[in-house]
Amino acid sequence: MSELLDLTGAQAAEKIGTGEVDPAELFDFYRERAAAEELNAFLWLPEDGDRPEFKTDAPLAGVPLAIKDLFCTEGVPSTSGSRILEGYRPPYTATAVRNLQDAGAAMLGKTNMDEFAMGSSNENSGYGPVLNPWNHDYVPGGSSGGSAAAVAAGLAPWAIGTDTGGSIRQPAALCGIVGLKPTYGSVSRYGMIAFASSLDQCGPLTRDVTDAALLYRHMLGHDPCDSTSLQHPEEISLPTAERLDGKRFGVPPELTGDGVEPGVKQVFDQTLELIEELGGELVDITLPHSTYGISAYYVIAPAEASANLARYDGVRFGPRTEAGGLTAQYEQTRHDGFGAEVKRRIMLGTYALSSGYYDAYYGNAQRVRTKIAEDFTNAFEQVDLIVTPTSPTVAFKLGEKTDDPLAMYLNDALTVPMPLAGIPAISIPGGLSDDLPVGIQLAGPAFSENRIFEAAYALERAIGWDPPEAPWRR
């Protein structure tokens, strides 16, 4: 059985193709592990013996896939981690999920998450927090914490999630796996339960870089149902690079210095040495406006969220609380259905968009966004990629930051600038600090995913991430 557990998604697909692995056996194996888990990583799993169809001739060959509960899946509960969508079974499936299913992915289950993807610890789920598989007293990160924990604990070979300000990369970092936030628009947002539409983008969470490239290859593409989606100009190839010769890596002091804890800094510095050993060149660059990323993000994302979440009013889907008149019913339904963080962001966003404050908050945040994007454009004239830690700290303890929303927000400081600029970034495991994983982030210009995968792959091999205490071995 443990032989199945050792296979990455790509390896499992290959072995199904050659007939060495039976897809039904693989599916049942993971379904049983997922059903027995203690991390609260899954919100929905199929019944025992209930299997999807296995497309063994397709590239993903019927390998099971864990799907963040924010993706609409036809007839299967899709709550986005919120009580206000409890019991909701969408009438259609998200394009990204459909693309993966067409390529042969078999839906294993729906994973837990911060409510409407708002959070960095998974403690904002309406269905209880997810535990970090490395140490159950710690958070797995968020908002795609269920997907990250499931992959790290070997409850799924691979998973998909979404990233608005770091929600793929940060939980991937805190759980010791790989996570890619692709270029904005490269994957359709159709059927993704919207949080902040100008930032949301879905991507893979996987054990290694090859799996991330393989899933990304099969999820992307222009979709007539999402007019902001774009055709990727390149075919996505599986990475093979062993060296980084001639590649220039920018190191911005704004995202690598203040606030990065010593243990993370140490792993980051070791990674920089590895880059040089592999032939890469380190270049000092500056991203002067990135330090204002949190401020801009926490105006833009809540503002868009306050508009997107207006649809939850107890009329067309989800539970309703009757309260006399129509307006009272809206207000009471939303009071009962939303959790504390979602209410906070609706309030913040509504305030920022309200008459008299709009330009001072939303307008200026969008101007900062322009400056942040310009910083990246300037940097990429000098370097191929930018390297930073993914998160300023390793995983923190459950409950440690729940009473201090601002401290929780500041945790996203190293991951928010990229979605504000629409550019792709990956997190790969760099090492351990205090027995918890440290993530290394590589960011590139729009549509540079192939470049990112090649560099991440070379680095992954040099790092040799294979800790004996890793949770997937248990």
Partner 1 sequence: MIDRDQVLHVAKLARLRLSDEEVERMSGELSTILDHIETIGELDLTDVPPTSHVIEVENVLRPDEPRPSLPREKALEQAPATADDGFLVPSPAAHA
Residues linked to residue 429 through DSSP beta bridges, in sequence order: 439
Q: Which of 394, 391, 451, 396 is nearest to 427 (CA)?
A: 391
Q: Which of 240, 363, 382, 435 binds partner 1 (CB under 8 A)?
A: 363
Read off the tokens for 134: 């490395």
Does 231 bind partner 1 (CB under 8 A)? Our answer is no
364-to-307, 370, 462 alpha-carbon distances in Å: 18, 10, 43
Among 86, 234, 315, 358, binds partner 1 (CB under 8 A): 315
Residue 329: which H helix or E strand, with range? helix 326-337
Q: What whole-number distance in Å separates Cα of residue 312 and Cα of residue 397?
A: 32
Between 227 and 240, whose beta carbon lies closer to partner 1?
A: 227
Of the residues 7, 156, 220, 365, which one makes contact with partner 1 according to CB under 8 A: 365
Active-site residue identified among 80, 82, 167, 306: 167
Instruction: Give which of 391, 378, 365 is closest to 445, Cα–Cα.
Output: 378
- Of the two residues 49 and 224, which places its CB atom closer to partner 1 in the complex? 224
Shortest Å, Cβ 121 to partner 1: 16
255 binds partner 1 (CB under 8 A): no
Q: What is the DSSP letter of 18?
A: T
Binder of partner 1 out of 9, 161, 318, 392 (CB under 8 A): 318
Among positions 66, 72, 202, 368, the unique one binding partner 1 when judged by CB under 8 A: 368
386 touches partner 1 by CB under 8 A: no
Give whichever of 8 and 295 is closer to partner 1, judged by the CB atom. Answer: 295
Dist. CA 280–CA 250, nearest whole Å: 10
Decide if residue 228 touches partner 1 (CB under 8 A): yes
Q: Determine, following the binding rule CB under 8 A, whether residue 292 of this chain makes contact with partner 1.
A: yes
Q: Which residue has the tokens 């833009």?
A: 300
CA 367 to chain centroid: 26
399 binds partner 1 (CB under 8 A): no
Count of residues binding partner 1 (CB under 8 A)?
Answer: 70
Can 181 be counted among the known catalytic residues?
no
Other C-beta atoms closer than 10 Å to the C-beta of 38 total: 9
Q: Does 54 bind partner 1 (CB under 8 A)?
A: no
Q: Do 201 and 163 contact (CB within 8 A), yes or no? A: yes
Nearer to partner 1 (CB atom), residue 63 or residue 416: 416
167 is catalytic: yes
Cα atoms in the Cβ-side hemisphere of radius 13 Å centred on 351: 8
Find the length of the chain: 474
Per-residue interface string for the shown chain with partner 1, residues 400-439, x marking contact by CB under 8 A? -----xx--x----------xxx-----------------
The 8-class DSSP code of residue 73 comes to B
Q: Is 74 exposed, middle or buried (0-12, 13-18, 19+ CB in 10 A)?
A: middle
Binding mask 188-207 for partner 1 (x = CB under 8 A): ----------x---------
Q: By the 8 A CB rule, do 53 and 13 touch?
A: no
Q: Is 298 in the site for partner 1 (CB under 8 A)?
A: yes
- Nearest one of 9, 386, 453 to 209, comparing CA atoms: 453
Please, is 355 exposed, middle or buried when counting C-beta atoms within 10 Å of its C-beta (0-12, 13-18, 19+)?
exposed
Residue 321 CA to residue 458 CA, distance in Å, equals: 55
Q: Choose, by CB under 8 A, the member of 17, 59, 259, 319 that binds partner 1.
A: 319
Query: Residue 208 or residue 304: which is nearer to partner 1 going by CB?
Result: 304
261 binds partner 1 (CB under 8 A): no
CB of 296: closest distance to partner 1 in angstroms?
A: 7
Residue 391 is among the residues annotated as catalytic for this protein: no
Q: Which residues of the chain form contacts with partner 1 (CB under 8 A)?
A: 88-92, 183-185, 198, 224, 227-228, 230, 289, 292, 294-296, 298-299, 306, 310, 313-320, 322, 324-332, 334-335, 338, 340, 343-344, 346-348, 350-351, 354, 361, 363-371, 373, 405-406, 409, 420-422, 446
Supply the residues annotated as catalytic: 68, 143, 167
